[in-house]
Structure 1
Amino acid sequence: MSETNSQNIVNTAVTLIEKYAEGKRDFSRANLVDADLRGLDLKGSDFSYADLSEANLSGANLRGCDLSFANLSQANLQDADLRGTLLFSADLCQADLKGAKLEKADCDRTTHFPQDFNPVQVGLQIREK
C-alpha cells in the first residue's frame, strides 16, 4: 500500500463527515467500527471493503453506495435508504434491517444476510457472477 493511500484511510465519523462535505466520496477500506452515523447523507459513496461492523447507520442515506465486501455485521441499518446500493459479498450478518429501503439494490450469492431475512421479498436483485 502506498503512503498516500494509508494516510487517506477514514477511521472516525468526524473525519468521514468532513471529507464528505469536501466532496470526497471514496471511503473504501474505511475503519468505522461502532461509528455513530445516524441520519447522515452519504449517498453515492464508495464503502467497498470498509469495516462498518456495529456502526449505527439508522436513517442514513446510503442510496447508490458501493458496499461490496463491506463488513456490516451487527450494524444498525433501521430505516436506512439503501436503494440502488451494491452489496456484493457484503457481510450483513446480525445487521438490523428493519424498515431499510433495499429496492433495486444488488447482491449476490456470497452476500451474507441475517437469519430469516428474505432478500427477494424486500426488492433486492440477486446477480449471478
Structure 2
Amino acid sequence: MSEINTLLQNYRHGQRDFSGLSLADANLSYADLKGADLSYSDLSNIDLSQANLRGVDLSYAKLSQVDLHNADLRGAMLIGTDLRDVSLQDANLKNADYIPGVTQFPREFDPRQAQMSSVVA
C-alpha cells in the first residue's frame, strides 16, 4: 500500500514520470493521474475504475485483469498495450492513441467505434 500512497503524494507534488513501476493488485479507483507516464509498468490486477487517466501514457504497460470501467482515458497513449483481459465497459477512449495490430483489444471491441486515434507505426 505504501507504493500507492507514495505515487499519489508524488503526483500531487508535480511528478508525472512513474514509468516501469510495479503496482500489481493495487486499488486506484477514482484516482486522478491525468498526464502521468505509466509506460512499461506492471498494473496487473489493478482497479482503475472511474479514474481520471486523461493523457496517461500506458504504452507497453502490463494490464492483465485490470478494471478500467468508467475510466476517462481520453487522449491516452496505448501503444503496444495488451488490453485483451481489461474491463473497458463505459470507459472513455476518445482520441486515445493505438497502433493497429500492435495494441491488442478485448474480443468484439472496435477502437474506431470508441473514437480512438490510429497511429502509424
Q: TM-score, normalised by structure 1?
A: 0.88
Provide the C-alpha distance between the structure 2 equivalents of 1:22 and 1:73, rounded to a whole number of angstroms. Answer: 29
After TM superposition, the runs of 4+ consecutive aligned structure 1 residues lying more than 3 A away are none
Provide the C-alpha distance between the structure 2 equivalents of 1:17 and 1:127, rounded to a whole number of angstroms. Answer: 30
Match of 1:30 among 18, 21, 26: 21
- Partner of residue 126, structure 1: 118
- Partner of residue 103, structure 2: 111
Structure 1 spans left out of the alignment, 5+ residues = 1-10
Which letter does structure 1 place at the counterpart of 2:119? R
Residue 31 (structure 1) shift: 0.4
Aligned residues: 119
Structure 2 spans left out of the alignment, 5+ residues = none
Provide the C-alpha distance between the structure 2 equivalents of 1:12 and 1:118, rounded to a whole number of angstroms. Answer: 34
Residue 12 (structure 1) shift: 2.2
Q: TM-score, normalised by structure 2?
A: 0.94
SS of the equivalent of 1:70 reads coil
* 1:43 is the counterpart of 2:34: yes
Instruction: Verify the 8 A CA contact 1:62 1:82 in the aligned structure 2.
Output: yes
- Partner of residue 3, structure 2: 12
Provide the C-alpha distance between the structure 2 equivalents of 1:58 and 1:96, rounded to a whole number of angstroms. Answer: 9
Instruction: Verify the 8 A CA contact 1:94 1:115 in the aligned structure 2.
Output: no
- Which structure: larger Rg? 1
SS of the equivalent of 1:83 reads coil
Aligned-residue CA RMSD in angstroms?
1.1
- Residue deviations 1:17-54 (CA, integer Å, cap 9, x gap): 11111211000001011110000110010011011111
Aligned-residue identity in percent: 47
Provide the C-alpha distance between the structure 2 equivalents of 1:53 and 1:112, rounded to a whole number of angstroms. Answer: 16
- Partner of residue 85, structure 2: 94
